[in-house]
Structure 1
């Protein structure tokens, strides 16, 4: 494992954005997982990131808004949609902390196709809804295409007080500055940059889901150990980076492309 001192604790600036989007009305649900049970899901050159020897599986529910390329507003129908993902937490040998997605359910089919066949991410097209009444936020998701058709999630949370100073665990679970994915035989790191999450405590009022189990992870026992809510952040994605080991004249040179 990489010592905590050398892992990435803050975002690296994205000098040239490739994609912009807002993540709004975000609920984070997390359960602890033994790293040994999920290591098989990580691409080469990455492994489970841990806090006090434990890693976590997250069920993250939110609305994607204003998805757009730099300098353009985005198409109205395609730029706003609900999304729910199941994710694990990764770190690579360069100390870059990220996520590994086990599943991503989205409401709009074109982004699902681009994500699934272009970026090689496990997207599924789902019927989804997010509604808010005062301090209660409700999420529903029912998978249509790709993956287990019976996979679904229903969650209801009550938003509570703003966190003035997130705990080390709350920071660990939310301060992620990219994703690791296997693409064309290589492990790719796709960086992103956003402001500090405005986090709130939240109470889970109801949860009925099988997305975690459908993603190949044994259903965690008991309720989530962390329930957080955020009104959202604006996100800038940068260019992907690939770590490649090249051998020349019997010597191995590492380069970052």
Structure 2
């Protein structure tokens, strides 16, 4: 799809598109979603006080999303594959800020060192480098500094025709909130609705010691697969103790 077509496809969104010009284009491709129910009180230990834990039917969730980032670029510039294309794994949870639902990253890893450095400087997101390997039906990652390890083997199934309200709640998120030492940064994004497929996990090792109180099992409570989406992102907005800065 062209960017114009993407921007005109808005019926699935929970609020209107951001005003002003978008800044970044990127693609999130071949995404594996692993979801776990978690205890809200345990989750609060990892989330800034300014962010409210978002609940679905009274339940809190954490998700690991393993995908391939491609073609990330500024609006008026071409992408540069040595930097713009890399594998990424993030562990996220679901929050609200100023009455807007979105996601908050507990962890974010990239498979290319220079891509992690560039992404961290441009976005202030807490990217870190991990050794990653991706092949058909296989995704592995290792970070020796944190002793983090992921190893999954899977088979992709048929398209999901009838998504449940929980499916929609877990995957259709159009804002990201991230904290720095002084601020909460917010990012609005847009894409068409994720195309979702069934997925069968044949093997799963999910070892993130910092989050043992959240991810207590190698068997997720829910899983999804998507071929991916083309993503439009606006520049971040920064909030300091309730005051808006630009």
TM-score, reference length from structure 1: 0.83
> By how many angstroms is 1:255 displaced?
5.7
- 1:124 has 2:128 as partner: yes
Show the 5 A alignment for 1:100-115: 100-115=104-119
Aligned residues: 234
Given the superposition, is the C-alpha separation of residues 236 and 216 from structure 1 closer, same or farther in structure 2, using an over 3 Å criterion? farther
- Give distance in 2, aligned partners of 1:24 and 1:239: 22
CA contact (8 A) 1:22 1:233 kept: yes
- 1:231 has 2:227 as partner: yes
> By how many angstroms is 1:126 displaced?
1.2
C-alpha offsets along residues 58-97 of structure 1, whole Å, 9 cap, x if unaligned?
11110001111112222121111101111111111x3211
Partner of residue 240 from structure 1, selected from 222, 227, 236: 236
- Give distance in 1, aligned partners of 2:37 and 2:111: 28
Cross-structure match for 1:30: 35
Cross-structure match for 1:192: 189
TM-score, reference length from structure 2: 0.86
Deviating 4+ runs (over 6 angstroms): none
Given the superposition, is the C-alpha separation of residues 172 and 127 from structure 1 closer, same or farther in structure 2, using an over 3 Å criterion? same
Alignment RMSD = 2.2
5+ residue gaps, structure 2: 1-11
5+ residue gaps, structure 1: 1-7, 247-253
Given the superposition, is the C-alpha separation of residues 243 and 99 from structure 1 closer, same or farther in structure 2, using an over 3 Å criterion? same
> By how many angstroms is 1:209 displaced?
2.1
Residue 142 of structure 1 aligns to a residue whose secondary structure is strand
The structure number with the bigger radius of gyration is: 1
